[in-house]
């Protein structure tokens, strides 16, 4: 390209273009270059580029050489010295348009780009990047907020679920307690009903027994007088005397009445125990004899203490102290004795079936000890020599629904309810001591007048 061709081509382009020889001589420029420098375009051709820039001649030569020997565009930086003395930093893109030959030097086209413009581009770019970064930040924050909200929601859902589960558990517990209470109250009512039904005829028999005895004694006395007055009775009477074995009858009838008396007294005792156990009429606080409660409970459980085909008899050893009457809810306290004694019997039956329990197998026993601790407290201890309880189960004993018994056999509420009755209703204490294989001991401590 000749300088003329170049000028023709560069004239129409708005960007500053220069045609330079590889030695640095300006061959042609277009108007934008003259504008940048603040001079007339015609002044520029023939001048050396070094005069127009602040960079060292050496640097410029090196740059031009790089441009002439490269096929690609070479980027450089030129600081133009304007006519008014100001400096103008430009980015330059140099491309060889006619390679060097022995006849002529290389021709290089330089395209200048004002750095200010470039900088503003950079500013724009930076702004864009900034905006993008901010957008990314915003999105991150939104994402974080979303994650947090999600977390909170999950926690809330979890809390609600836990609360619902707790409510459900409570409801189940209340339901089972109600069933248990209902069962106890039906048992109480039944026991009280039976006791009442038996009580009337027994009192009737007991009351008449005395008279029947007396009448018989009177009749026998009469017979005796007859015998004295008529020592030789006619054969008919003599025959009857022999037939009924009058001497034996006279002896035996006294014994008979005695055993009937003992029998009816025993029935009366049982009735009393049954009534004592049910204590339906005593939902209120009462001052009672604790031993009566324990004894009546034992009476109810008596059939389970007897020997059977599968189990030996369970001996009950009572070590009762002199106890003051205790102010309590007697029906509820009996329920506690019932639960603990029934558990002891269960444990003894279980050890009777266990080959490793040879010792207790032949000698199952329950020891009930009562003691006065001080003037305010009494203690009842119920100990068995059954299977005992593993240490790791101790902490669970009083939990609702904790049972080691087969399905349908234990509901796991006995000790839980007992604990509520002793600790909450009577401000007492209920504790368990046990060594596996050596039995278990439950200790009830209650204030003499707690509530």
Ligand X SMILES: Nc1ncnc2c1ncn2[C@@H]1O[C@H](COP(=O)(O)OP(=O)(O)OP(=O)(O)O)[C@@H](O)[C@H]1O
Shortest Cβ 278–Mg ion spacing (Å)? 20
Q: Which residue, 59 or 399, has its beta carbon nearer to ligand X?
A: 399
Query: By CB neighbour count within 10 A (0-12 exposed, 13-18 middle, 19+ buried), where does 387 fall?
Result: buried
Sheet containing strand 107-114, strands side by side = 26-29, 17-21, 107-114, 87-98, 74-81
Shortest Cβ 264–ligand X spacing (Å)? 35
Q: What element of type H or E holds 170?
A: helix 115-229
Give the whole-angstrom CA distance, residue 54 versus residue 65.
18
Shortest Cβ 249–Mg ion spacing (Å)? 53
- Residue 402's binding partner out of ligand X, Mg ion, none, with CB under 5 to 8 Å set by partner kind: ligand X
Q: Which residue, 270 or 333, has its beta carbon nearer to ligand X?
A: 333
Record the tokens describing residue 433, joined without a space: 């001591």
Report the candidate in 442, 406, 420 with the shortest Cα–Cα distance to residue 180: 420
Q: Which residue, 76 or 364, has its beta carbon nearer to ligand X?
A: 364
Q: Is 414 in the site for Mg ion (CB under 5 A)?
A: yes
Shortest Cβ 411–Mg ion spacing (Å)? 8
Give the whole-angstrom CA distance, residue 404 versus residue 169.
20
Record the tokens describing residue 436, joined without a space: 């596996």
Q: Which residue, 111 or 394, has its beta carbon nearer to Mg ion?
A: 394
- Residue 345's binding partner out of ligand X, Mg ion, none, with CB under 5 to 8 Å set by partner kind: none
Give the whole-angstrom CA distance, residue 448 versus residue 277.
20
Shortest Cβ 334–ligand X spacing (Å)? 15
Contact footprint for ligand X (CB under 6 A): 339, 343-344, 347, 384, 386-387, 389, 397, 402-405, 410-416, 440
Q: If binding means CB under 5 A, how many residues of this protein chain bind Mg ion?
A: 2
Give the whole-angstrom CA distance, residue 404 versus residue 197.
38
Angle at 261 between CA 260 and CA 262, to 5 degrees: 90
Q: Which residue, 368 or 387, has its beta carbon nearer to ligand X?
A: 387
Shortest Cβ 420–ligand X spacing (Å)? 11
- Residue 384's binding partner out of Mg ion, ligand X, none, with CB under 5 to 8 Å set by partner kind: ligand X
Cα–Cα distance list, 318 to 305, 368, 369 (Å): 14, 5, 6
Three-state secondary-structure class, residue 337 = helix
Q: Which residue, 255 or 303, has its beta carbon nearer to Mg ion?
A: 303
Q: Are 384 and 439 in contact (CB under 8 A)?
A: yes
Q: Which residue, 76 or 364, has its beta carbon nearer to Mg ion?
A: 364
Q: Which residue, 335 or 343, has its beta carbon nearer to Mg ion?
A: 343
Shortest Cβ 184–Mg ion spacing (Å)? 13
Q: Are 329 and 425 in contact (CB under 8 A)?
A: yes
Q: Are 63 and 95 in contact (CB under 8 A)?
A: no
Shortest Cβ 396–ligand X spacing (Å)? 8
Q: Is 21 in the site for Mg ion (CB under 5 A)?
A: no
Give the whole-angstrom CA distance, residue 19 versus residue 247.
167
Range in contact with Mg ion (rule: CB under 5 A) among 48-56, 81-89, 303-311, 339-347:
339-347
Range in contact with Mg ion (rule: CB under 5 A) among 56-64, 88-96, 122-130, 335-343:
335-343
Q: Is 343 in the site for Mg ion (CB under 5 A)?
A: yes
Q: Which residue, 7 or 383, has its beta carbon nearer to ligand X?
A: 383
Shortest Cβ 416–ligand X spacing (Å)? 6
Cα–Cα distance list, 451 to 232, 283, 427, 446 (Å): 77, 13, 7, 10
Residues engaged in binding Mg ion (CB under 5 A): 343, 414
């Amino acid at each position: 390209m000749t300088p003329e061709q170049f000028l023709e081509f560069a004239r129409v382009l708005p960007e500053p273009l220069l045609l330079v020889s590889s030695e640095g001589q300006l061959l042609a420029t277009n108007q934008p270059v003259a504008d940048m420098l603040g001079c007339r375009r015609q002044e520029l051709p023939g001048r050396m580029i070094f005069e127009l820039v602040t960079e060292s001649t050496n640097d410029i030569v090196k740059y031009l050489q790089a441009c002439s020997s490269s096929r690609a565009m070479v980027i450089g930086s030129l600081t133009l010295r304007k006519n008014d003395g100001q400096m103008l930093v430009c980015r330059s893109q140099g491309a060889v348009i006619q390679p060097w030959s022995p006849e002529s030097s290389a021709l290089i086209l330089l395209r200048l780009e004002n750095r200010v413009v470039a900088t503003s581009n950079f500013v724009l770019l930076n702004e864009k990047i900034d905006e993008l970064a901010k957008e990314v930040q915003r999105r991150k924050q939104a994402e974080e907020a979303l994650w947090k909200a999600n977390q909170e929601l999950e926690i809330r859902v979890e809390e609600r679920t836990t609360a619902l589960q707790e409510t459900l558990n409570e409801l189940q517990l209340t339901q089972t307690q109600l069933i248990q209470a209902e069962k106890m109250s039906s048992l109480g009512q039944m026991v009280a009903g039976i006791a009442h039904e038996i009580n009337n005829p027994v009192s009737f028999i007991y009351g008449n027994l005395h008279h029947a005895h007396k009448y018989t004694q009177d009749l026998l006395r009469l017979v005796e007088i007859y015998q004295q007055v008529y020592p030789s009775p006619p054969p008919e009477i003599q025959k009857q005397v022999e037939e009924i074995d009058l001497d034996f009858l006279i002896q035996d009838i006294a014994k008979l009445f005695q055993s009937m008396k003992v029998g009816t007294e025993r029935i009366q005792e049982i009735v009393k125990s049954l009534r004592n156990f049910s204590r339906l009429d005593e939902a209120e606080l009462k001052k009672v004899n604790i031993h009566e409660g324990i004894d009546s409970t034992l009476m109810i459980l008596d059939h389970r203490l007897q020997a059977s085909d599968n189990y030996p008899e369970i001996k009950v050893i009572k070590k009762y102290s002199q106890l003051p009457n205790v102010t309590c809810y007697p029906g509820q306290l009996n329920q506690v004795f019932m639960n603990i004694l029934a558990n002891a019997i269960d444990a003894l039956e279980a050890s009777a079936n266990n080959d490793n329990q040879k010792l207790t197998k032949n000698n199952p026993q329950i020891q009930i000890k009562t003691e006065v601790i001080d003037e305010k407290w009494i203690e009842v201890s119920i100990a068995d020599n059954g299977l005992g309880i593993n240490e790791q189960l101790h902490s669970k004993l009083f939990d609702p629904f904790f049972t080691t018994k087969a399905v349908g056999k234990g509901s796991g509420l006995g000790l839980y309810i007992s604990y509520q009755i002793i600790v909450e209703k009577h401000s007492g204490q209920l504790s368990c001591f046990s060594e596996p294989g050596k039995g278990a001991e439950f200790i009830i401590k209650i204030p003499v007048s707690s509530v």
